[in-house]
Amino acid sequence: MSSKRAVFITGGSHGLGLFTARALVAQGTAVALFARDKDRLDQARIDLLEDEPLADIEVFSGDVCDYESLDQSVQRFAESQGGLEAVVHAAGQMRAIGPLSQVDPTVWRADIETSLIGGGHLIKAALPWLEKSPKGGSVVVFVGSGHNQGLGFGSGYSAAQAGLVRLMENLALERVWPKSAGKGPEGFVGYYALFPAVTPTGVMDYVLRESEGRKWLPRFTEMFGEGKEVEPHVPAAMAAWLCLKKPVELSGRVVSGMLDPDLTEMRLGILGEGEKGQLRLKF
């Protein structure tokens, strides 16, 4: 297999997906952008090439809820690159805003399927490639504020975020299969739920821009007042770091996108130094 770095990104035409792609191509990584809007995808590629003219960028249009379409796109990209090192799930939508009793059930379901089912589809399609990557594999999913308080009235979106956190935990545990289940996966794959805090892009743009979102704005702004807002390039840098570093210690856990990757790497280094990483009193 090729040693070239290659990362597949859903929701890659805008928002955190596009910011993550920008962080990756700046480090010489080939990226695939997957989203529903072909025109928006093409423009995203043009924008990335303006900053990195030699970047290797492929675009695929489709819906993460359509497994066959997503699977075919992952296979085509992995085959063209000679392998796949990581995937990033940044596709999500929040249209069913408000208490559950007041939202359209079909829209609520669509929000859950895009975020949660779409993430599952991506991982299933990519796993055969990630497990045979000579550098190991990485799965990064953005989990919005709905997974743990904060984003009140996110409804279907919030429910999906909680599901994504549990999915990452369970997939990390799946790495240790019982002997009776047969042969386990070959190479290491790290599973990371990345909490980006409140970022002024993607999902939050909808809350701020649309009348339905603005109706619930006072509840959402509680998070801004608590200092949980951060510019999108910060969590994007963490997503890129998780794709390429694949820290075993963080697999199956929620990782803060508010921290600098260098600081996180330094802390992990300290924890690996035996006595230096232990906080305890000595007499």
Q: How many structural domains compose the chain?
A: 1
Q: Which domain holds residue 212?
A: 6-277
- Please indicate, yes or no, if residue 282 is contained in any of the structural domains: no
- Please indicate, yes or no, if residue 71 is contained in any of the structural domains: yes
- Please indicate, yes or no, if residue 201 is contained in any of the structural domains: yes
- Please indicate, yes or no, if residue 57 is contained in any of the structural domains: yes
**Angstrom distance (rounded) from CA 189 to CA 174:** 10
Check which CATH number belongs to the domain holding 249 and give it.
3.40.50.720
Q: What is the pLDDT of residues 270-279, one digit of tens each?
A: 766 655 545 4
- Would you say residue 35 has pLDDT above 60? yes
Q: What is the pLDDT of residues 109-162, one digit of tens each?
A: 999 999 999 999 999 999 999 999 999 999 999 998 766 555 667 678 888 888
Q: What is the dihedral of CA 58, 63, 64, 70, to 10 degrees?
A: -50
- Please indicate, yes or no, if residue 227 is contained in any of the structural domains: yes
- Would you say residue 256 has pLDDT above 70? yes
- Would you say residue 281 has pLDDT above 50? no
> What percent of the chain has a predicted confidence (pLDDT) above 90?
58
**Angstrom distance (rounded) from CA 219 to CA 178:** 46
Q: What is the pLDDT of residues 240-249, one digit of tens each?
A: 999 999 999 8
Q: What is the pLDDT of residues 4-17, one digit of tens each?
A: 799 999 999 999 99
Residue 207 CB-density burial (10 A; 0-12 exposed, 13-18 middle, 19+ buried):
buried
- Please indicate, yes or no, if residue 190 is contained in any of the structural domains: yes
The pLDDT value recorded for residue 283 is 40
Are the beta carbons of 47 and 19 closer than 8 angstroms? no
Tokens of 7: 């990362």
Band of residue 192 on the pLDDT scale cut at 50, 70, 90: very high
The pLDDT value recorded for residue 219 is 64
- Please indicate, yes or no, if residue 283 is contained in any of the structural domains: no
Q: What is the pLDDT of residues 257-273, one digit of tens each?
A: 888 888 888 888 776 66
More confident residue, 209 or 171: 171
Band of residue 46 on the pLDDT scale cut at 50, 70, 90: very high
